[in-house]
Chains A and B, each alone.
Chain A
Amino acid sequence: DIDLNNPIHVD
């Protein structure tokens, strides 16, 4: 399962 509802943004 993959958490598509809480995206993380990285630089």
Chain B
Amino acid sequence: MQKVSADPEEACLVWCQKRNGGTKSRGWTFPDGTVCQTRRSRYGKSSYCINGRCEDFICDSYNEVAFIQMSELCPADRNDNEVTWRTGLRSRQNTIKWKSASGCHFNCISPGTGIRLVMSKGKYAKSSIQLCQPDQFGCGRIKSPFQHASMICGKYKERVRRLSGLGMQISPAVEDPDRPCRVACQDENISHRFYLVNGEEGWFPFGTDCSRSTSDKKAYCISGKCLEFGSDDTPVSESEFTLPLLSRNKRSLHNNNTKIITKLNQQQLEQIIHELN
């Protein structure tokens, strides 16, 4: 028999059932190409035994992984046959083919994503950043934005009397669309009053989800900014936010459908890439 195991080698071992129950193996392995499954395998991923190890075969048009799934079994690349665009920022009409230029970095925060650097293919090489699927198993522990913020605010409480020690991720505001990417520390006596932490220490780690209630959008914190990501998972040059919750001083002036437009140009994007590097 074959087992589903956390260990990729165990998943390709031939196991024999003993008469009195239990299983044992003599170290024989299933031949290359035998379907296998490890507990780490995600649903829908194809895994096969290769040299006695259960290996994941992944759809990757850039041939960067060791075991590549047959293209016939992969979703069609909708970027095929499209023209190359000069800027690294996504346009609605044109899409760029990206090639990864770094590994997938994940800050072990959930909800959140992995981020990698990418380069465009073609004559006008541009760099950008792209969302990527992180390896959750690389994290000792996953933190929520609340836990991360409270860790920062707990440190500040030792020095600043007025703080409760709890921190939060708060909603964007017209005057500050990037506010969900900054750590806000709670006042000790007034529970709805918060103070923002200045500087890089006050930024949520890159990849922290900042889409909040706008579930149809992909938005993540990068260098203290809340960037929206498009269909090719790179930042869009212009994004529109609907603010579900406004700060108290603005509530009388705006209704719940207030929309704000944030823009990101290539120079700002390059500065972000430089900071991430």
Looking across the interface, which residue of chain A has its beta carbon closest to that of B152? Answer: A2
* CB interface residues, B 174-209, toward A, < 8 Å: 179, 184-185, 187, 192-199, 202
- Are A11 and B248 in contact, CB atoms less than 8 angstroms apart? yes
The verdict on B160 contacting chain A, using a C-beta distance below 8 Å, is yes
Contacts from B to A (Cβ < 8 Å): 156, 160, 162-163, 168, 170-171, 173, 179, 184-185, 187, 192-199, 202, 245, 247-249
Write the nearest CB–CB distance from A4 to chain B, whole angstroms.
5
- Are A2 and B194 in contact, CB atoms less than 8 angstroms apart? no
- Are B193 and A7 in contact, CB atoms less than 8 angstroms apart? yes
Contacts from A to B (Cβ < 8 Å): 1-4, 6-11
- Are B192 and A2 in contact, CB atoms less than 8 angstroms apart? no
- Are B196 and A8 in contact, CB atoms less than 8 angstroms apart? yes
Q: How far does the alpha carbon of A7 sit from the alpha carbon of B170 in the complex, in Å?
A: 12
Ordered by A's residue number, 17 sampled pairs between the chains whose C-beta atoms are within 8 Å are A1-B198, A1-B199, A2-B156, A2-B196, A2-B198, A4-B160, A4-B195, A6-B196, A7-B193, A8-B170, A8-B184, A8-B247, A9-B192, A9-B194, A9-B249, A10-B248, A11-B192
Given contacts A8-B170, A10-B170, A10-B171, contact A2 B195 (CB under 8 A): yes
Q: How far does the alpha carbon of A11 sit from the alpha carbon of B250 in the complex, in Å?
A: 12
Task: Specify which chain A residues have a CB less than 8 angstroms from the CB of B245 in the assembled complex.
Answer: 10-11
